[in-house]
């Protein structure tokens, strides 16, 4: 193919010749001493005097085995944002892979292999292969898990029956997760309780880092909710928990086995509150709301399970005043992160989280407004009525929003990004 000749500029002795194809680049790649067989058999390849080209190890490869909400919050959102910030400057690049990938050129540039919620038995073969190749490529291997998946002899030491995960995570998957964690250089978890359980109960020696969850500020906007000037006479309450917090098939109340259910049904019927329930399950006969809300089905707003990129949209449209998180004590809930709290801080509602009276940690111990798991209907009514007053409502909204900045819980804040780059 002919070359393109750029006309001679004034003062230049020769015209500038630019290639019109990638042939030269392709030939360079073929002759690159870093190609796969070069590192296998080129004499002196490991000596300082070798002609091996030094490659910048700035690639984080993330294997996206989990594409649920957790998979986005703890992997896809993070990797996408880091790539947007750092890739152009070549400081750091990320690649989210939907499958295991062994290309030599990629592994040669990898500084980190990230394995979020990698548990299936067939994945174990792949992880072992990466572990065998680690001395050659010198990447670090990081595992991430943010849920309790194990079973023990203590009360509540398992996935609760009302969570469909109790039927979909068999023992071989649990054992596989433990085996994989043992091969890692670092484990990331979302809570101190998970870290302690993995270290003290599972006896895994791999170093563990607590990587808290974050919220993308770009979903909810850069500004806090405007202050209210009048008392809320019929507050809007939203529940954003998924169907893993109750069981329609077995008709189990799950995390609503407390005073919250009585309060909500009573006050919806009396038209004292508006209630929005998110995360409802689709079914052949239409949207399946939590079975215990059937008596008020026609009086509530029901929103189906949303994907991670659309989750914030119906919340912003509904404009809730309060967000609630009823919980019952079990190991699954002790291990949970405060993601519902920080989401509420972001979209601007007063969050009311459950704390446990048995001395165990709650994901919402850091929330500003809480109620114990033994609270009564009267306790709930008193708390909500108090925060319907403008001065009380506005004060909590501001404190929650200030917490996001101070604690670095926005995905796109400097404090959180600096923490991520230290890990990866």
pLDDT of residue 89: 84
The strand pairing partners of 274, in sequence order, are: 236
pLDDT of residue 54: 60
Q: What is the pTM of this model?
A: 0.86
- Between helices 390-407 and 377-387, what is the axis angle to 10°? 90
The encoded tokens of residue 355 equal 């704390």
CB-CB contact of 93 with 58 (8 Å):
yes
pLDDT of residue 18: 44
Neighbours of 413 (CB within 10 A): 16
Distance separating alpha carbons of residues 32 and 10, to the nearest angstrom: 37
Helix (H, G, I), strand (E, B) or coil at 225: coil
Half-sphere exposure of 83 (CA within 13 A, CB side): 14
pLDDT in tens, 291-340: 999 999 999 999 988 889 999 999 999 999 999 999 999 999 999 999 99
Distance separating alpha carbons of residues 19 and 248, to the nearest angstrom: 66
pLDDT of residue 75: 94
pLDDT in tens, 390-419: 999 999 999 999 999 999 999 999 999 999
Domains defined along the chain, listed by start? 59-214+411-423 (3.40.50), 217-407 (3.40.50.2000)
For tokens 């509150």, the residue is 273
pLDDT of residue 26: 47
- The two beta strands, 322-325 and 236-239, are parallel
Q: Residue 78: which residues within 8 A CB-CB, separation 6 or more?
A: 214, 411, 420
Task: Name the nearest CA neighbour of 424 among 193, 161, 91, 20.
Answer: 91
Helix (H, G, I), strand (E, B) or coil at 188: strand
Which residues of the chain fall below pLDDT 70? 1-55, 66-67, 69, 282-286
CB-CB contact of 321 with 232 (8 Å):
yes
CB-CB contact of 335 with 147 (8 Å):
yes
Distance separating alpha carbons of residues 202 and 348, to the nearest angstrom: 39
pLDDT of residue 122: 84
pLDDT in tens, 339-371: 999 999 999 999 999 999 999 999 999 999 999
* Cα-only R_g, the chain: 27
pLDDT of residue 279: 84
Distance separating alpha carbons of residues 343 and 355, to the nearest angstrom: 18
Task: Name the nearest CA neighbour of 245 among 342, 349, 363, 361.
Answer: 363
The strand pairing partners of 113, in sequence order, are: 61, 141
């Amino acid at each position: 193919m002919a070359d393109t000749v750029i006309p001679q500029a004034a003062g230049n002795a020769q015209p500038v010749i630019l290639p019109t194809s990638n042939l030269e680049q392709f030939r360079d790649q073929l002759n690159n001493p870093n190609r796969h067989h070069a590192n296998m058999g080129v004499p002196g390849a490991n000596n300082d005097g070798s002609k091996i080209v030094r490659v910048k190890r700035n690639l984080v490869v993330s294997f996206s085995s989990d594409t649920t909400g957790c998979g986005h919050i703890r992997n896809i959102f993070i990797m996408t944002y880091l790539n947007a910030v750092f890739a152009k400057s070549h400081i750091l690049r990320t690649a989210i892979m939907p499958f295991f990938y062994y290309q030599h050129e990629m592994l040669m540039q990898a500084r980190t292999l990230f394995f979020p919620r990698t548990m299936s038995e067939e994945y174990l073969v792949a992880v072992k292969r990466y572990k065998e190749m680690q001395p050659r490529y010198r990447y670090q291997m990081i595992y991430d898990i943010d849920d309790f998946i194990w079973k023990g002899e203590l009360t509540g030491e398992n996935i609760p029956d009302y969570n469909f995960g109790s039927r979909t995570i068999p023992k071989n998957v649990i054992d596989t997760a433990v085996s994989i964690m043992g091969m890692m250089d670092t484990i990331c978890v979302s809570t101190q309780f998970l870290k302690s359980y993995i270290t003290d109960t599972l006896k895994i020696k791999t170093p563990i880092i607590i990587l808290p969850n974050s919220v993308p500020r770009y979903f909810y906007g850069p500004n806090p909710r405007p202050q209210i000037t009048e008392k809320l006479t019929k507050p809007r309450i939203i529940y954003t928990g998924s169907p893993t917090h109750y069981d329609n098939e077995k008709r189990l109340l799950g995390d609503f086995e407390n005073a919250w259910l009585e309060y909500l049904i009573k006050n919806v019927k009396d038209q004292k509150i508006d209630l929005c329930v998110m995360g409802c399950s689709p079914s052949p006969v239409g949207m399946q709301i939590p079975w215990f809300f059937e008596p008020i089905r026609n009086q509530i707003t029901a929103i189906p399970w949303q994907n991670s990129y659309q989750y914030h949209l119906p919340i912003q449209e509904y404009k809730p005043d309060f967000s609630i998180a009823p919980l019952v004590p079990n190991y699954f809930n002790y291990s949970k992160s405060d993601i519902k709290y920080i989401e509420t801080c972001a979209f601007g509602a007063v969050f009311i989280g459950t704390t446990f009276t048995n001395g165990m940690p709650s994901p919402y111990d850091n929330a500003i407004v809480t109620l114990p798991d033994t609270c009564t209907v009267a306790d709930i009514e008193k708390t909500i009525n108090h925060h319907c007053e403008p001065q009380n409502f506005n004060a909590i909204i501001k404190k929650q929003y200030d917490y996001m900045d101070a604690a670095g819980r926005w995905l796109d804040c400097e404090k959180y990004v600096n923490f991520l780059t230290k890990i990866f």
